Protein backbone atom coordinates (compact mmCIF):
# COMPACT_ATOMS: atom_id res chain seq x y z
CA UNK A 1 0.00 0.00 0.00
CA UNK A 2 2.99 2.33 0.40
CA UNK A 3 2.70 3.03 -3.36
CA UNK A 4 -0.34 5.11 -2.46
CA UNK A 5 1.96 7.86 -1.14
CA UNK A 6 4.50 9.57 -3.39
CA UNK A 7 8.06 10.30 -2.33
CA UNK A 8 7.19 13.97 -1.90
CA UNK A 9 4.26 13.10 0.35
CA UNK A 10 6.56 11.03 2.55
CA UNK A 11 9.42 13.57 2.69
CA UNK A 12 10.16 14.71 6.24
CA UNK A 13 8.98 18.27 6.80
CA UNK A 14 11.48 21.09 7.51
CA UNK A 15 9.23 22.03 10.44
CA UNK A 16 9.85 18.64 12.05
CA UNK A 17 13.57 18.83 11.30
CA UNK A 18 13.64 22.24 13.00
CA UNK A 19 11.98 20.71 16.08
CA UNK A 20 14.59 17.95 16.14
CA UNK A 21 17.35 20.58 15.81
CA UNK A 22 15.95 22.51 18.79
CA UNK A 23 15.80 19.28 20.76
CA UNK A 24 19.42 18.43 19.85
CA UNK A 25 20.71 21.88 20.82
CA UNK A 26 18.80 21.85 24.10
CA UNK A 27 20.14 18.36 24.90
CA UNK A 28 23.65 19.72 24.35
CA UNK A 29 22.92 22.74 26.56
CA UNK A 30 21.57 20.54 29.38
CA UNK A 31 24.40 18.01 29.08
CA UNK A 32 27.20 20.60 29.08
CA UNK A 33 25.47 22.96 31.52
CA UNK A 34 26.18 25.66 28.94
CA UNK A 35 22.95 27.62 29.42
CA UNK A 36 22.83 30.51 31.87
CA UNK A 37 19.62 28.98 33.21
CA UNK A 38 19.78 25.17 33.49
CA UNK A 39 16.03 25.10 34.04
CA UNK A 40 15.34 26.93 30.80
CA UNK A 41 17.53 24.47 28.89
CA UNK A 42 15.60 21.59 30.48
CA UNK A 43 12.34 23.34 29.55
CA UNK A 44 13.39 23.59 25.89
CA UNK A 45 14.56 19.98 25.86
CA UNK A 46 11.35 18.61 27.36
CA UNK A 47 8.98 20.77 25.28
CA UNK A 48 10.77 20.07 22.01
CA UNK A 49 11.02 16.36 22.87
CA UNK A 50 7.34 16.32 23.78
CA UNK A 51 6.29 17.97 20.50
CA UNK A 52 8.50 15.54 18.56
CA UNK A 53 6.75 12.66 20.32
CA UNK A 54 3.35 14.13 19.42
CA UNK A 55 4.41 14.23 15.77
CA UNK A 56 5.52 10.59 15.98
CA UNK A 57 2.21 9.68 17.64
CA UNK A 58 0.19 11.14 14.78
CA UNK A 59 2.59 9.76 12.18
CA UNK A 60 2.10 6.27 13.62
CA UNK A 61 -1.66 6.57 13.16
CA UNK A 62 -1.26 7.82 9.59
CA UNK A 63 1.38 5.32 8.54
CA UNK A 64 -0.65 2.43 9.88
CA UNK A 65 -3.73 3.77 8.10
CA UNK A 66 -1.75 3.95 4.84
CA UNK A 67 -0.82 0.29 5.12
CA UNK A 68 -4.41 -0.48 6.10
CA UNK A 69 -5.85 1.00 2.91
CA UNK A 70 -6.31 4.76 3.37
CA UNK A 71 -4.09 6.09 0.60
CA UNK A 72 -5.29 9.68 1.19
CA UNK A 73 -3.12 10.28 4.27
CA UNK A 74 -0.14 11.16 2.08
CA UNK A 75 -1.94 13.92 0.20
CA UNK A 76 -3.05 15.38 3.53
CA UNK A 77 0.56 15.77 4.63
CA UNK A 78 0.31 13.39 7.57
CA UNK A 79 3.38 11.38 6.54
CA UNK A 80 5.71 14.40 6.62
CA UNK A 81 5.67 14.65 10.45
CA UNK A 82 4.64 18.28 10.07
CA UNK A 83 2.49 19.24 13.10
CA UNK A 84 0.91 22.07 11.10
CA UNK A 85 -0.80 19.48 8.88
CA UNK A 86 -2.83 17.93 11.68
CA UNK A 87 -6.59 18.24 11.60
CA UNK A 88 -6.60 20.01 14.96
CA UNK A 89 -3.23 21.72 15.40
CA UNK A 90 -4.40 23.39 18.63
CA UNK A 91 -5.55 20.09 20.15
CA UNK A 92 -2.52 18.24 18.83
CA UNK A 93 0.23 20.65 19.85
CA UNK A 94 -0.81 23.78 21.76
CA UNK A 95 -3.06 22.24 24.43
CA UNK A 96 -0.71 19.32 25.18
CA UNK A 97 2.17 21.77 25.73
CA UNK A 98 -0.01 23.95 27.98
CA UNK A 99 -1.03 20.92 30.06
CA UNK A 100 2.61 19.90 30.42
CA UNK A 101 3.47 23.38 31.68
CA UNK A 102 0.48 23.51 34.04
CA UNK A 103 0.43 20.07 35.54
CA UNK A 104 3.09 17.79 34.16
CA UNK A 105 0.51 15.56 32.44
CA UNK A 106 0.99 14.14 28.98
CA UNK A 107 -2.22 15.23 27.30
CA UNK A 108 -3.14 13.05 24.33
CA UNK A 109 -2.84 14.97 21.09
CA UNK A 110 -5.54 15.82 18.59
CA UNK A 111 -6.14 13.85 15.44
CA UNK A 112 -5.29 12.96 11.92
CA UNK A 113 -8.37 12.40 9.81
CA UNK A 114 -8.50 8.78 8.70
CA UNK A 115 -11.00 7.79 5.99
CA UNK A 116 -12.16 4.66 7.76
CA UNK A 117 -14.45 3.53 4.95
CA UNK A 118 -11.35 2.75 2.90
CA UNK A 119 -10.13 0.24 5.48
CA UNK A 120 -11.47 -3.29 5.70
CA UNK A 121 -11.19 -5.52 8.71
CA UNK A 122 -11.75 -4.80 12.38
CA UNK A 123 -8.17 -5.69 13.32
CA UNK A 124 -6.84 -3.02 10.97
CA UNK A 125 -9.08 -0.38 12.52
CA UNK A 126 -7.97 -1.38 16.02
CA UNK A 127 -4.31 -1.35 15.06
CA UNK A 128 -4.60 2.14 13.56
CA UNK A 129 -5.97 3.43 16.86
CA UNK A 130 -3.36 1.56 18.89
CA UNK A 131 -0.42 2.79 16.82
CA UNK A 132 -0.34 6.26 18.42
CA UNK A 133 -0.18 5.16 22.06
CA UNK A 134 2.33 2.47 21.10
CA UNK A 135 4.55 5.24 19.71
CA UNK A 136 4.40 6.92 23.14
CA UNK A 137 5.27 3.63 24.84
CA UNK A 138 8.27 3.18 22.55
CA UNK A 139 9.38 6.77 23.18
CA UNK A 140 9.10 6.16 26.94
CA UNK A 141 11.20 3.01 26.67
CA UNK A 142 13.90 4.91 24.75
CA UNK A 143 13.91 7.75 27.31
CA UNK A 144 14.13 5.24 30.15
CA UNK A 145 16.80 3.09 28.47
CA UNK A 146 19.74 4.59 30.42
CA UNK A 147 17.86 3.84 33.66
CA UNK A 148 16.91 0.21 33.03
CA UNK A 149 20.25 -0.49 31.34
CA UNK A 150 22.16 0.95 34.31
CA UNK A 151 24.01 3.32 31.98
CA UNK A 152 23.83 6.49 34.08
CA UNK A 153 27.48 6.70 35.11
CA UNK A 154 28.83 10.01 33.92
CA UNK A 155 25.40 11.31 32.90
CA UNK A 156 24.89 14.89 34.21
CA UNK A 157 22.21 15.10 36.91
CA UNK A 158 20.14 17.71 35.06
CA UNK A 159 20.03 15.59 31.90
CA UNK A 160 19.11 12.54 33.94
CA UNK A 161 16.22 14.40 35.62
CA UNK A 162 14.99 15.90 32.33
CA UNK A 163 15.00 12.50 30.65
CA UNK A 164 13.02 11.01 33.54
CA UNK A 165 10.39 13.75 33.33
CA UNK A 166 10.08 13.29 29.57
CA UNK A 167 9.58 9.56 30.18
CA UNK A 168 6.83 10.41 32.68
CA UNK A 169 5.03 12.49 30.07
CA UNK A 170 5.17 9.63 27.59
CA UNK A 171 3.85 7.11 30.12
CA UNK A 172 1.01 9.39 31.22
CA UNK A 173 0.06 10.10 27.58
CA UNK A 174 0.02 6.38 26.76
CA UNK A 175 -2.14 5.53 29.77
CA UNK A 176 -4.63 8.34 29.08
CA UNK A 177 -4.78 7.48 25.38
CA UNK A 178 -5.50 3.84 26.09
CA UNK A 179 -8.53 4.58 28.27
CA UNK A 180 -11.66 3.09 26.63
CA UNK A 181 -13.36 6.49 26.62
CA UNK A 182 -15.11 7.87 23.50
CA UNK A 183 -12.77 10.20 21.66
CA UNK A 184 -9.64 8.45 22.97
CA UNK A 185 -7.52 5.91 21.13
CA UNK A 186 -8.46 3.26 23.67
CA UNK A 187 -12.06 3.51 22.58
CA UNK A 188 -10.94 3.46 18.95
CA UNK A 189 -9.30 0.10 19.62
CA UNK A 190 -12.49 -1.52 20.89
CA UNK A 191 -15.02 0.39 18.77
CA UNK A 192 -14.80 -1.91 15.72
CA UNK A 193 -15.83 -4.81 17.92
CA UNK A 194 -18.96 -3.12 19.29
CA UNK A 195 -22.39 -3.48 17.78
CA UNK A 196 -23.66 -0.79 15.44
CA UNK A 197 -26.33 0.20 17.98
CA UNK A 198 -23.81 0.74 20.77
CA UNK A 199 -21.58 2.81 18.52
CA UNK A 200 -24.52 5.00 17.50
CA UNK A 201 -25.42 5.61 21.15
CA UNK A 202 -21.84 6.46 22.13
CA UNK A 203 -21.00 8.63 19.11
CA UNK A 204 -22.53 11.92 20.44
CA UNK A 205 -20.29 11.76 23.53
CA UNK A 206 -17.01 11.42 21.63
CA UNK A 207 -16.23 15.18 21.50
CA UNK A 208 -16.51 15.38 25.29
CA UNK A 209 -14.49 12.29 26.23
CA UNK A 210 -11.21 14.12 26.76
CA UNK A 211 -12.89 16.84 28.82
CA UNK A 212 -14.54 14.20 30.99
CA UNK A 213 -11.20 12.45 31.60
CA UNK A 214 -9.53 15.63 32.76
CA UNK A 215 -12.55 16.56 34.82
CA UNK A 216 -12.14 13.28 36.69
CA UNK A 217 -8.42 13.93 37.10
CA UNK A 218 -9.29 16.99 39.18
CA UNK A 219 -10.79 14.63 41.76
CA UNK A 220 -7.94 14.08 44.28
CA UNK A 221 -8.57 10.35 44.69
CA UNK A 222 -8.62 9.77 40.93
CA UNK A 223 -5.55 11.94 40.46
CA UNK A 224 -3.61 9.99 43.09
CA UNK A 225 -4.64 6.66 41.58
CA UNK A 226 -3.64 7.85 38.10
CA UNK A 227 -0.19 9.00 39.18
CA UNK A 228 0.31 5.85 41.24
CA UNK A 229 -0.20 3.97 37.98
CA UNK A 230 2.17 6.30 36.12
CA UNK A 231 4.90 6.03 38.75
CA UNK A 232 4.40 2.27 38.91
CA UNK A 233 5.04 2.05 35.15
CA UNK A 234 8.08 4.30 35.50
CA UNK A 235 9.41 2.11 38.28
CA UNK A 236 9.07 -0.90 35.99
CA UNK A 237 11.24 1.00 33.50
CA UNK A 238 13.83 1.69 36.18
CA UNK A 239 12.96 5.38 36.58
CA UNK A 240 12.59 6.48 40.20
CA UNK A 241 10.14 9.03 41.57
CA UNK A 242 13.13 11.13 42.59
CA UNK A 243 14.39 11.59 39.04
CA UNK A 244 10.98 12.45 37.56
CA UNK A 245 10.19 14.84 40.44
CA UNK A 246 13.34 16.91 40.03
CA UNK A 247 12.95 16.84 36.27
CA UNK A 248 9.60 18.51 36.68
CA UNK A 249 11.06 21.02 39.17
CA UNK A 250 13.81 21.97 36.71
CA UNK A 251 11.29 22.13 33.87
CA UNK A 252 9.37 24.80 35.78
CA UNK A 253 12.36 27.15 35.46
CA UNK A 254 10.30 30.19 36.44
CA UNK A 255 9.73 28.60 39.86
CA UNK A 256 12.73 26.27 40.10
CA UNK A 257 14.48 25.82 43.48
CA UNK A 258 17.89 27.42 43.99
CA UNK A 259 19.43 24.05 44.76
CA UNK A 260 18.64 20.82 42.94
CA UNK A 261 20.07 17.88 44.90
CA UNK A 262 22.08 15.13 43.30
CA UNK A 263 20.96 11.47 43.38
CA UNK A 264 23.54 10.93 46.12
CA UNK A 265 21.48 13.21 48.41
CA UNK A 266 18.26 11.21 47.87
CA UNK A 267 18.34 9.61 51.32
CA UNK A 268 18.19 13.06 52.93
CA UNK A 269 14.92 14.02 51.24
CA UNK A 270 11.34 12.87 51.47
CA UNK A 271 9.26 13.35 48.33
CA UNK A 272 5.54 13.96 48.64
CA UNK A 273 3.51 13.46 45.44
**What residues are annotated to the active site?**
58
Name which of 140, 128, 156 is nearest 58 in CA terms: 128
How many angstroms separate the CA atoms of 101 and 103, rounded? 6
**Which residues contact residue 56 at a Cβ distance below 8 angstroms, ignoring those fewer than 6 apart?**
81, 135, 139
- Please report which helix (H) or strand (E) contains residue 187, including its range: helix 185-190
**Which residues contact residue 166 at a Cβ distance below 8 angstroms, ignoring those fewer than 6 apart?**
45, 46, 49, 50, 143, 247
How many angstroms separate the CA atoms of 257 and 273, rounded? 17
Amino acid sequence: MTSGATHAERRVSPVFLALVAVMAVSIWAVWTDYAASPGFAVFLFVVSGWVVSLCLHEYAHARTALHGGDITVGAKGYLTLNPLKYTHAVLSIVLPVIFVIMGGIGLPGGAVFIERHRIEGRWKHSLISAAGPLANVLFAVVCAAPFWLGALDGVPDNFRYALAFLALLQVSAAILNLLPVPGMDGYGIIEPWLSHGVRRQVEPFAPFGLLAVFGFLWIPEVNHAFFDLVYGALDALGVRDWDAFWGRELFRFWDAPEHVPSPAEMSQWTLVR
